[in-house]
Amino acid sequence: MNYIRKFIVCLIMIISVDRSYCYNAAKVRKLKAAAAAKNSNQVSKFPAADFRGMQLDENFDAHGFHMPGVLFLPCTPTDTNKDTPMVCVPGQASKLKGINLASANISNGSFDGADMEGADLTATNFNQGSAIGTNLKNAKVSGLQAQDTTFCNSIMPDGKKCDDKLKVWKGQGVTLACNCG
Grade residue 14 by pLDDT with cuts at 50, 70 and 90: very low
Check if the beta carbon of residue 23 is closer than 8 Å to that of residue 50.
yes
- Check pLDDT > 60 for residue 141: yes
- Check pLDDT > 70 for residue 57: yes
Residue length, the chain?
181
* CA–CA dist 109, 68 (Å, integer): 6
Range from 9-18, 24-33, 48-57 carrying the lowest mean pLDDT: 9-18
Grade residue 96 by pLDDT with cuts at 50, 70 and 90: very high
CATH of the domain at 117: 2.160.20
Range from 21-30, 31-40, 119-128 carrying the lowest mean pLDDT: 21-30
Closest CA to 32 of 12, 7, 54: 54
* CA–CA dist 24, 84 (Å, integer): 7
The DSSP string of 29-43 is HHHHHHHHHT-HHHH
Give residue 33's domain range: 1-181
- Could you tell me what percentage of the chain is helix, strand and coil, using 3-state DSSP and rounding each to the nearest 5? 15, 15, 65
* CA–CA dist 156, 116 (Å, integer): 10
Closest CA to 93 of 49, 52, 144: 52
Per residue in 72-95, pLDDT (tens digit) is: 999 876 666 556 555 667 788 999
- Check pLDDT > 60 for residue 11: no
Task: Provide the number of structural domains found in the chain.
Answer: 1
Closest CA to 80 of 67, 68, 71: 71
| DSSP letter assigned to residue 55 | B
